[in-house]
């Protein structure tokens, strides 16, 4: 049974005009897009979304960056969606990301690394619910 993951095309990538190219990578990797929206997070939303990183030294930098401009949030579906999407995006630091991954091709730094991907099925469901209502996940109906 396919399951779901949550993705963000981050402000650095949207601002650089990579939204369409990253959308293509999502489709090429056979993810079904259950929902997608362009939005700009408030600082409070970014702080809530990344609450798990609250104690990390980069929390302020990260939440300021994530609320600095437009991003695209997406709910994706595929067999083993969480690990499949993390493989598609590559390592957190683009310098360590494998050839052909989104972060290798579009990210500029450890902080501004083009895309987000959930790390577990449980977090994927929480993250999808943070930005989407069930009725917005239109392909799932």
**What residues make contact with ligand IDP under the rule CB under 6 A?**
58, 61-62, 92, 110-111, 113, 116, 119
Tell me the closest approach of the beta carbon of residue 86 to ligand IDP, in angstroms: 7
Closer residue to Mg ion in complex, CB, 35/118: 118
Report helix angle 121-131 to 81-89, nearest 10.
80
Residue 84 DSSP label: H
Reply yes or no on whether 53 is catalytic.
Answer: no
Of residues 16-55, those binding Mg ion (CB under 5 A): none
Q: Which does 137 bind (CB under 5 to 8 A by kind): ligand IDP, Mg ion, none?
A: none
Q: Which residue is nearest to Mg ion (CB)?
A: 119
Nearest to 69 by CA among 91, 51, 43, 88: 43
Half-sphere exposure of 86 (CA within 13 A, CB side): 12
Tell me the closest approach of the beta carbon of residue 72 to ligand IDP, in angstroms: 15
Nearest to 11 by CA among 67, 49, 62: 67
Closer residue to ligand IDP in complex, CB, 34/62: 62
The dihedral of CA 103, 106, 108, 114: what is its sign?
Answer: negative
The continuous run of DSSP H or E covering 37 comes out as: strand 32-39
Tell me the closest approach of the beta carbon of residue 82 to ligand IDP, in angstroms: 11
Closer residue to ligand IDP in complex, CB, 58/129: 58
Closer residue to ligand IDP in complex, CB, 80/140: 80
* Catalytic one of 26, 67, 116, 124: 116
Residue 78 sits at φ, ψ, to 5 deg, of -170, 160
Q: In the complex, which residues of this chain contact Mg ion (CB under 5 A)?
A: 119
């Amino acid at each position: 049974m396919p399951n779901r993951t949550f993705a963000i095309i981050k402000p650095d990538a949207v601002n650089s005009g990579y939204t369409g190219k990253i959308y293509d990578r999502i489709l090429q990797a056979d993810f079904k897009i259950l929902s997608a929206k362009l939005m700009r997070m408030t600082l409070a939303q970014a702080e809530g979304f990344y609450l798990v990183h609250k104690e990390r030294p980069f929390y302020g930098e990260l939440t300021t960056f994530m609320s600095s401009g437009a991003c695209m949030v997406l709910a994706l579906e595929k067999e083993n969606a969480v690990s499949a999407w993390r493989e598609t995006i590559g390592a957190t630091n683009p310098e360590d990301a494998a050839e052909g991954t989104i972060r290798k091709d579009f990210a500029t730094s450890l902080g501004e690394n083009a895309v987000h991907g959930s790390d577990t099925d449980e977090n994927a469901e929480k993250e999808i619910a943070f930005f989407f209502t069930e009725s917005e996940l239109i392909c799932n109906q």
